[in-house]
Structure 1
Amino acid sequence: MIHLVLGGARSGKSRYGEALVRQYTALGFDACYLATAQALDAEMSSRIRLHQDGRAKDDIDWQLVEEPLALTAKLKHLAKPGRVILVDCLTFWLTNQLLAQSPEAEPASTESDFALDFARSRHEPLEHWRQQRADFIQTLSILEGVVILISNEVGSGIVPLGELSRQFVDEAGWLNQAVAEVADNVTLVVAGLPLVLKSS
């Protein structure tokens, strides 16, 4: 069972995902929280602590697993009957993938070298990411147990400035569409209120 939960920043999507987990733990499922965020600065550390504090106060006995990159492999390892996994979130995973595949270019000695490096920096990471996405989507269809995927809906605002920002929005949108196609249930959360988009 795959359940995709979409929503904007501070929409309540994570809280809704945790409420879904609680329904399964009431039936005897064990719960796994698969976190993809990385605390690379003080602001992100604060956001992560906010989520951790919230989980510490609930009645779910969470198994916490942190995996910023190898999400597909980790899901294959963790998923099993009688377990519910909450993945929070897919858009952090996308960010981590894109950044991991964008090493800083070596200084170019000629203008043509610079053009080649620029082309590689734009296209090779996307090719790698799109293969990762395809593997992930294929894996979702064979996972046992219940997997709840949290993802940001980033396409409802203005078109962002900057090529990298627009690229991220495009890739996040395509990822959400691909997951929604194979998911059993899809819910959009707005202002803390769930709107069912797809139900099995």
Structure 2
Amino acid sequence: MSTPVIGVLALQGDVREHLVALAEADAQARPVRRAEELAEVDGLVIPGGESTTMSKLAVAFGVLEPLRERVRAGLPTYGTCAGMIMLANKILDGREDQETVGGIDMIVRRNAFGRQNESFEAAVDFTGVDGGPVEGVFIRAPWVESVGGDVEVLATHEDHMVAVRQGQVLATSFHPELTGDHRVHRLFVDMVRGA
């Protein structure tokens, strides 16, 4: 597969930035809002935004169950910030009615690094990405509290897990799509090509 088709879940959040980053990483990027559109992609990005709103919209648009099925069936999926929360098997500090897609055996704490006014940028050493640290933009960011044995920790910040991978599912608590550095997106595009 020379140019994979990668969707960005376009219900809420920073969709446009991911579409640009994926195109720069040599993928054909398109927004995904419905189950029919999900069926046409080789991989999917779940963007940052507000995880509670995103889960409610996924239910309302009828895409949550098809998304769960595709992730379970091996669809390469990458979640940033709220997308990381959506890919967690369990959430701390979430709403009781909040749904997740699952896909990574991890427990994620919402807003772990603080509120909006405590957002920050930091250089993050990222296993599997060449060329030195990536710039992480942390906006009301989660962190990973714990992982199962099949989860690979790719990056930490201040002793907190901020990038993980389990099989074909990748998640970061920060936003690489906001920096102009597309190396993490290239890593994901390579995962899609290899799937």
Q: Tell me the TM-score normalized by structure 2.
A: 0.38
Higher helix share: 1
Structure whose CA Rg is larger: 1
Higher strand share: 2
Q: Tell me the TM-score normalized by structure 1.
A: 0.37
